[in-house]
Chain A
């Protein structure tokens, strides 16, 4: 077991943790995005609330939620650790370093993008997750905390939140950050896990680009659509 323990403390092991937690978070994004797409298909919000209800009550999902939080925490802690270590590996900086000549700015800015995403998450989680899990939905705009089918009306909460332009802008900016974070992170994860192959790597890279653009785009469309009342 010693070899496994010291594997994770090595540079490659640390990278593996980043990659695996990253991949896990990517899979979460996919589920999250899929469920949230209900907003586009049901103006009453019943479908969306049903989905939310399922997510809130299914014990497997609830258990996974804990895992997700731990994974996110690990991703953040490891990210901070790696950033600090990597900065220490070059105590004297270059007077002039032309990074754009050999790499993409976002691949060099994962820490910054991650920090932006973390800040967004604080807002996002307090907007919805804390409300739905802990504090409960308040009565606002004279509405009721439940929808037509008796589920907690998270949809109404969303409509209310996205009526503020600053929040819409914040969410859109956050999704741009997410897109760039994924643009590097997606393919990088596979490289870290050693999945570099002449035949498959180009496919993975293309998938990565598609995923990085599509998922954040869909997420960003939600506040925009709600704010402008487009089709909702």
Chain B
């Protein structure tokens, strides 16, 4: 089990705290194996920094199998790096070449302030969900699960929307730092299911209002979010959210 032979230059954003101004810092890493994941390459760099007495680079990560949504690096101008449909933790060094220079930045959005180095605060997403991303059913209130048949196509569509991991790559890559792909995925999941109907129009209004309050930008349909989403969440969800929003605002007699 030898280490590899790739030598790379990293340009990494370093920022001590939210208030600090921050700057790009250059690092050299050597003997990188193509079998390493991108985060393991950072582990090697950090180990080196610690031994030298420097502060290691702080970055968010947890499951390292592409499902928790915690990792969040903007690599060479793209969220989660150059490969489609993977998160940073699943990106492997064989996607790079010996001698490459790699630029690594945090997600950048007003609604995602930098906490330290490459770590940002994505609690805005939680607040959007708390505003309506749920079905109001207390524990113990449920009927038998098969009492309500749901057509397979509809259930599958809801699942596809529900596959969102809340990583924020959509916001990070959108030129407007808009969160509409994330918000619409949750709205769609619940709007597609019969269980979600009672609160459907209230939900879309509350979640959109919270999204706007958090300071995300406006959607201009560039499609970058869909292209960069590691879970392939579709733009159809945004259209569905728009429809539901108009229905709630212009057709429903309820004041929102």
Task: Please say whether the chains A and B touch (CB closer than 8 A).
Answer: yes
A82 touches B110 (CB 8 A): no
Check if B224 sits within 8 Å of A10, measured CB to CB. Answer: no
Check: B236 CB closer than 8 A to any chain A CB. yes
Digitize B161-202: 1 where CB-to-A-CB distance is under 8 Å, 0 elsewhere. Answer: 000000000000101111010000000000000000000000
Q: Which residue of chain B is the closest to A100 with respect to CB atoms? A: B77
Contact with A along B72-85 (1 / 0, CB 8 A): 00101110001000
* B221–A89 CB distance below 8 A: no
Find out whether the CB atom of B242 lies under 8 angstroms from the CB atom of A192. Answer: yes
Closest CB in chain B relative to A181 CB, distance in Å: 12
Assess whether A11 is interfacial by the CB under 8 Å rule.
yes
What CA separation (Å) do A149 and B77 show in the bound complex? 63
- Tell which of B27-35, B54-62, B133-141, B207-215 binds the partner: B207-215
Q: Which chain B residues lie closer than 8 Å to A2 at the CB level? A: 255
A66 — which chain B residues lie within 8 A by C-beta? none
Measured in the bound complex, the distance between the Cα atoms of B103 and A217 in whole Å is 41
Question: Is there contact, CB below 8 Å, between B110 and A89?
Answer: yes
Determine whether A184 belongs to the interface, using a CB cutoff of 8 Å to chain B: yes
Q: Which partner residue on chain A sits nearest B74 by CB separation?
A: A94
Cβ-defined contact, A188 with B108, below 8 A:
no
User: With A86-B177, A194-B240 known to touch, is A15 a contact of B219 (CB < 8 Å)?
Assistant: yes
B143 on the interface (CB 8 Å rule)? no
| A3 close to chain B: CB less than 8 A | yes
- A82, B212: Cβ atoms closer than 8 Å: no
A196 touches B236 (CB 8 A): yes
Are A86 and B175 in touch, CB under 8 angstroms?
Answer: yes
Task: Return the CB mask of B24-60 against A: 1 if under 8 Å, else 0.
Answer: 1000000000000000000000000000000000000
- Alpha-carbon gap, A2 to B78, bound state (A): 40
**Bound-complex Cα distance A89 to B212 (A):** 11
Contact (Cβ within 8 A) A12 B208? yes
Is the pair A96, B105 in contact by a Cβ cutoff of 8 Å?
A: yes
Tell which of A37-45, A104-112, A218-226 binds the partner: A104-112
Q: Which of B1-9, B88-96, B144-152, B243-251 contacts A (4 or more CB under 8 A)?
A: B243-251
Q: Name the A residues within 8 Å of B177 (CB-CB).
A: 86, 89-90
Verify B243–A107 contact, CB threshold 8 A: no
- List of A residues within 8 angstroms of B178 by Cβ: 11, 86, 89
CB-contact partner of B216 in A89, A188, A198, under 8 A: A89
| Residues of chain A contacted by B256 (CB below 8 angstroms) | 3, 6
B221 to chain A, nearest CB (A): 4
| Known A12-B208, A94-B105: A191·B221 in contact at CB below 8 Å | yes
Count the A residues whose beta carbon is within 8 Å of the partner chain — how many?
Answer: 44
Asked whether B108 lies within 8 Å of A7 as measured between CB atoms, the reply is no
Whether the pair A101, B77 counts as a contact (CB closer than 8 A) is yes
Instruction: Using known A-B contacts A10-B208, A97-B77, A103-B227, determine if residue A188 contacts B240 with beta carbons closer than 8 Å.
Output: no
- Closest A residue to B216 by beta carbon equals A89
A98 to B228, CA, bound (A): 11
- B232 interfacial contact with A, CB 8 Å: no
The closest CB in chain B to the CB of A90 belongs to: B177
Q: A86-B218, A94-B74 are in contact. Are A3 and B255 (CB under 8 A)?
A: yes
Instruction: Report whether A94 and B77 are in contact in the complex, using a CB–CB cutoff of 8 Å.
Output: yes
Is A11 a contact partner of B249 (Cβ separation < 8 A)? no
Q: A7-B245, A196-B236 are in contact. Are A95 and B103 (CB under 8 A)?
A: yes
Given contacts A103-B223, A103-B227, contact A94 B217 (CB under 8 A): no
The winner among A90, A92, A95, A108 for most chain B CB atoms within 10 A is A90
| 8 pairs, CB–CB < 8 Å, chain A vs chain B | A3-B248, A6-B249, A7-B249, A11-B211, A86-B176, A89-B216, A91-B110, A98-B76
Known: A89-B109, A90-B177, A192-B221. 19 other contacts (CB 8 A): A4-B249, A4-B250, A7-B249, A7-B250, A15-B220, A85-B218, A92-B108, A92-B114, A101-B77, A101-B78, A103-B222, A103-B223, A103-B227, A104-B222, A107-B222, A194-B242, A195-B239, A196-B239, A198-B236
> Which residues of A are at the interface with B, using a C-beta cutoff of 8 A?
2-4, 6-7, 10-16, 82, 85-86, 88-99, 101-104, 107-108, 110, 184, 187-188, 191-196, 198
**Interface of B toward A, CB cutoff 8 Å:** 11, 13, 24, 74, 76-78, 82, 103, 105, 108-111, 114, 173, 175-178, 180, 205, 208-209, 211-212, 215-224, 227-228, 235-236, 238-246, 248-250, 254-256
